[in-house]
Structure 1
Amino acid sequence: MSVATLDDAMLLTGFGIYNVVHMLMCGVILMGMIMQSLALGYVMPAAQCDLDLTLQQRGWLAAIPFLAIILTSYMWGYFADTRGRRPVMLSSMLLSVLFTILTSFSPNLLIFAVLYFIASVFMSGSSAVVYTYLGEFNSLRHRDKMVAFGSSFVGIGTVVLPGISWLILPMDFNIPMGFITYRPWRLLMMLCALPYAVGAILLTLAPESPKFLNAVGRQDECLEVVKKIYGNNQWILKQTFPVKTLVVENQEGKTTKQSHIKATLMSMREQTTPLFRAPLLPWTFLTCFVQFGIFATTNGFYVWFPTILNSLVSNNGTELRICDVLDMQYSNNTMDQCDDTISTKTFEHSIYIGLVFSSMYIFVGIIVDLVGKKPILATILLITGLCGIGAHLVPDTRAGVVMFAIFQMCGACIGLITSVTVELFPTKHRAMAVCLSMMIGRVGSMIGSSIIGIFLQTNCGFSFYLFGGILIVNAMFCLVLPGKKKAVKSSSTDIASSRDSVASHGNESTTNDNNENLPK
């Protein structure tokens, strides 16, 4: 009977239609996540009259989804590591869609904030787990590429969101419903939940992660999933898969179902403590710090992006810096009359920038196998950081907008650094590590969106210096990451060695997954 480790078995499945379809499903989920997270950037300017929003209220309202994710990502990571990736994602996504729909019917600011907070709590259930779920269905050779391609749907979401906003917000309808007047921004809120609903439907047809099944001792179920991947990729019967038994991984620290709160908290501590001890501590710090900088910059500025772009497109002159235009607007704005109109050029330019954003994700996905994650991360973060500083310094509005757009491209590194996290941490702590780094990233989003809103009025230039500088420091940190693995240089070498391993493995146990890439 042929025996192999899960990693060897996954290499034998090859690469094909199953991997692509699974990536597309996870991509739809990621698109729904980014659209719900950033929808307020377009909803708030259109809803400010109905909800009586001040500029300060818009600032803290924009931070609500990030706050919800910060408070609950840790919990979702624990459940994903102990209960499974798929059930956590499915239940949280369905509830997020439900509460987003309810949010669109909010009669006032307080109810809107509470319902949107609850919707964001459930949205966080899949926001970090989906990266782990995507990565664990691919072999080591193709994992980076597929995570990068799946992450490109985040960029696609930044195209779809202004596209839908452009289609919906200019509509002129007011439908009295007693407690509210139904206007276009409410319809936009509902439509932004549509990708999540589609993703939830598709997820009902998908299996649990083979990595999770293997880690918790469900080897038979794991093998069936691997056989299914093999059969679909190779277009042959899954029964022909050469591996008949999977090696049992070290399950020390596996959590059983607990009914008491104390036992659950102790289990969470056991799952988390290794992340803050050697040899994992340096990687925990690095991944969290880099995610903090990227999220603070790309999400922090994007929340205010429609407001900034709306000011710039209405400026007739070009011999001005971005901050000069914003200073002029705020100094001339008396706030005596509520204006919830958005220039159509704002939507148009947002789509163009979103297309460039998506192209960056796809480009990264194409070259990541050839170049490796470390040089890509360091190069993109350095260039975008310099462009962030340059966007403030260049004395031309159009050139400033171009550099500002490049500044936002740092978001293309989110999927890459998440892929790094998936590789650096062992299976039983992987989802927790990803959720922790994403949670810290959301802290950056919340802090970034809040202080950028303040600085745009008080010290505009400092916000560009601060976040541009953070990205440059992040680039330096990425230089200490492990280099590209020689073991996955060519598929022929991988598959040949895997077949040899199947023949000779016997009943050996493996510790590669737990020790790989640990600091010495």
Structure 2
Amino acid sequence: MFMFTGFAMMFCPGMATLFLTSGHIDFEVQLVGSLVWRPWRMLGCVYVLPGIIALILLLFMPESPKFLFMIGDTHKGLKVVEWISMKNTGRPLTPEQIVQLHSFQNFAQVKRQKSDQHILRAMVSDAMPLFRKPYLGNLISACLVMFISGMITNGLGIWYTAMRNRANMRRGDKSGMSLCQILFVPDLGLILEPEKDLEVICNDDFKGFNDSFVMGALNVLMYNLCWLLLCKVPRRWIFIVSILITSTSGCLLVFVLTSWLQLVTCILLLGLPGVVLSLLGGALLEDVPTYLRAKAMCICLMWARCGAVVGTITTGMFIHHYCAQYLLLISIMPLVAACFESYLPFRF
């Protein structure tokens, strides 16, 4: 499931290249008043289309049968399992399988009391078991790791295309320059004596999104490599190695002077925290009972999104004037996440 993030990373720049490159698609249609239908508006609709398709597909998907059994809705749970059996094997459930499902339902059902509480109070009451032993320590650790991973892979990552595009568009000799120098040291060209009123203007053109395609392809590769390693390597070791590579890549990004090394270290810095997010999600689902899993994942992903917001804002505020220092600080954050690794429910 997480692997398809990589495909989205290729889909978005692919559509942008198709719609925004002059000569491919260029039109203007007057709609209402001053509203004009242009390629970039159509591009926004294309970006929304996968979400609409996903929403329609979800409307036809049944609820988790395990969840239905745990809340005591045996009839609906059996219907869903019957539907799954027909889809997968073409055969209905056997009487023996139905007996086994009834036994599982009797064992797994959680006694829930209906009440007339306010909806918010009911939500808090249902989630309270997560904030007690034995789940509290795991939940806090998972939220902290999710926050840091979201801050890097989504917060700093949202600037990836702009930074790579700006680096590729810089003219002149870039050899011997770090990424921060390429991005923020002005290129004065043939000016011999810069005047005091010289103002370097912002260039919002784009040379292409080739680096974004590389980012998406390597993300798909990293996720598949991660899943293959799970067959032979303990999940905890994959987590630790990913964290260490992320931190090392961030530090190297400040100092490497070769363009392709800058690209690889930047992708590893931004991509591997996404792999950590997927590993952590799987571990959390194993440790939390079914009826609490959705709440636990929502709480953790909420902190991941908060991290993305914080990372986006801080990057915009500090990377221009403190580029090297900011990247080094970001590189230390995965090591902070690794400190909470022993509290996480990774099973060998």
1:331 CA drift (Å): 9.4
C-alpha distance in structure 2 between counterparts of 1:211 and 1:307, whole Å: 44
1:173 aligned to 2:173?
no
One-letter code aligned to 1:320? M
* Other structure's SS at 1:325 match: helix
Aligned to 2:276: 413
Match of 1:342 among 200, 206, 210: 206
The answer as to 2:68 corresponding to 1:213 is: yes
Residue 430 of structure 1 is matched in structure 2 by 293
Partners of 1:429 and 1:208 in 2: how far apart? Answer: 15
Runs of 4 or more, structure 1, over 6 Å off, are: 330-333
CA 1:325–1:254: 2 relative to 1, 3 Å: farther
TM-score by length of structure 1 reads: 0.59
Deviations 1:40-91 (A, max 9, x none): xxxxxxxxxxxxxxxxxxxxxxxxxxxxxxxxxxxxxxxxxxxxxxxxxxxx
User: Which SS does the other structure have where 1:193 is aligned?
Assistant: helix
2:194 corresponds in structure 1 to none
Cα distance in structure 2, aligned partners of 1:439 and 1:481 = 18
Determine the structure 1 residue equivalent to 2:193: none
Counterpart contact for 2:155–2:307, Cα < 8 Å: yes
Query: 2:299, 2:92 → 1: CA distance?
Result: 40
Aligned to 1:379: 241
TM-fit CA distance, 1:255 = 5.2
RMSD of aligned C-alpha atoms? 2.4
Q: 2:105 aligns with which of 247, 252, 276?
A: 247
Query: In structure 2, how many angstroms separate the alpha carbons of the residues matched to 1:255 and 1:390?
Result: 56
The percent identity for this pair of structures is 26
Counterpart of 2:195 in structure 1 is none
Question: What is the CA distance between 1:201 and its match in structure 2?
Answer: 2.3
Identify the residue that residue 135 of structure 2 maps to in structure 1: 280
| Structure 2 unmatched runs, 5+ | 190-197
- C-alpha change, 1:465 and 1:331, in structure 2 (3 Å) is farther
Matches within 5 A, 1:264-413: 264-315=119-170, 316=172, 317-329=174-186, 334=199, 339-344=203-208, 347-409=209-271, 410-413=273-276
Distance 1:446 1:220, change over 3 A: same
Shift of 1:175: 3.4
C-alpha deviation, 1:443, in angstroms = 0.7
Quick one: distance in 1 between partners of 2:109 and 2:97?
A: 23
Q: CA deviation at 1:292?
A: 0.5
- Could you say which residue in structure 2 is the equivalent of 1:226? 81
Partner of 2:63, secondary structure, is coil
Secondary structure at 1:458 match in 2: coil
- The 5-angstrom pairing of residues 82-231 of structure 1 reads 150-170=1-21, 171-177=25-31, 178-231=33-86
Q: Could you tell me which residue of structure 2 aligns to residue 123 of structure 1? A: none
The structure-2 alpha-carbon separation of the partners of 1:483 and 1:391, relative to structure 1 and needing over 3 Å to count, comes to same
| Greater Rg by CA | 2
Mapped to 2, the partners of 1:412 and 1:483 lie a distance apart of: 14
Q: Does structure 1 retain, via aligned residues, the 8 Å contact 2:283–2:347?
A: no
TM-score w.r.t. structure 2 length? 0.86
Distance 2:234 2:85 in 1: 26
Contact (CA 8 Å) 2:141, 2:340: kept in 1 or not?
yes
- How many angstroms does 1:234 deviate by? 3.6
1:463-474 superposed matches below 5 A: 463-474=326-337
| Matches of 1:331 and 1:286, distance apart in 2 | 48
Q: 1:14: which partner in 2?
A: none
Instruction: Quote the Cα distance in structure 2 between the aligned partners of 1:369 and 1:312.
Output: 39
* 2:105 alignment partner AA: V
Instruction: Provide, for residues 200-243 of structure 1, a one-character-per-residue CA deviation record: whole Å limited to 9, x for no partner.
Output: 22223321111221122101211222233234334433346623
- Corresponding residue of 2:192: none
**Cα distance per residue 1:343-380 (max 9 Å; x no partner):** 12xx1111012100111112212222332322111111
For 2:64, give the aligned amino acid. Answer: S
Q: Is the 8 A contact 2:283 2:346 kept in 1?
A: no
**Rounded Cα–Cα distance in structure 1 between residues aligned with 2:81 and 2:187:** 58
Q: Distance in 2 between matches of 1:330 and 1:195?
A: 41
Aligned residue pairs total 329
Deviates more, 1:174-183 or 1:212-221: 174-183
Structure 2: distance between partners of 1:183 and 1:340? 18
Asked if 2 retains the 8 angstrom alpha-carbon contact of 1:318 and 1:396, the reply is yes
Q: Letter of the aligned partner of 2:5 in structure 1?
A: V
Per the alignment, residue 34 of structure 1 pairs with none
Contact 1:169-1:184 at 8 Å conserved across structures: yes
Q: Which whole-Å CA distance do the structure 1 matches of 2:252 and 2:14 have between them?
A: 28
- The 8 Å contact of residues 155 and 357 in structure 1, kept in 2 or not, is answered as yes
Q: Are residues 334 and 373 of structure 1, via their aligned partners in 2, closer, same or farther at CA, if it must alter by over 3 Å?
A: farther
Q: Please tell me whether residue 475 in structure 1 is matched to residue 334 in structure 2.
A: no
Which secondary structure state, in structure 2, belongs to the residue aligned with residue 449 of structure 1?
helix
Residues 156 and 354 of structure 1 are in contact (CA less than 8 Å); yes or no, is this contact kept in structure 2? yes
> Match of 1:279, SS?
coil
**Deviation (angstroms), 1:329:** 4.7
Q: Does 1:236 align with 2:91?
A: yes
Cα 1:367/1:243, change in 2 over 3 Å: farther
Question: Which is helix-richer, 1 or 2?
Answer: 1
1:330 and 1:411 map into 2 onto residues whose CA distance is 35
Measured at CA, do residues 254 and 174 of structure 1 come closer, stay the same or move farther in structure 2, by a change above 3 Å? farther
Aligned counterparts of 1:439 and 1:254: Cα–Cα separation in 2: 27
Give the secondary structure class of the aligned counterpart of 1:179.
coil
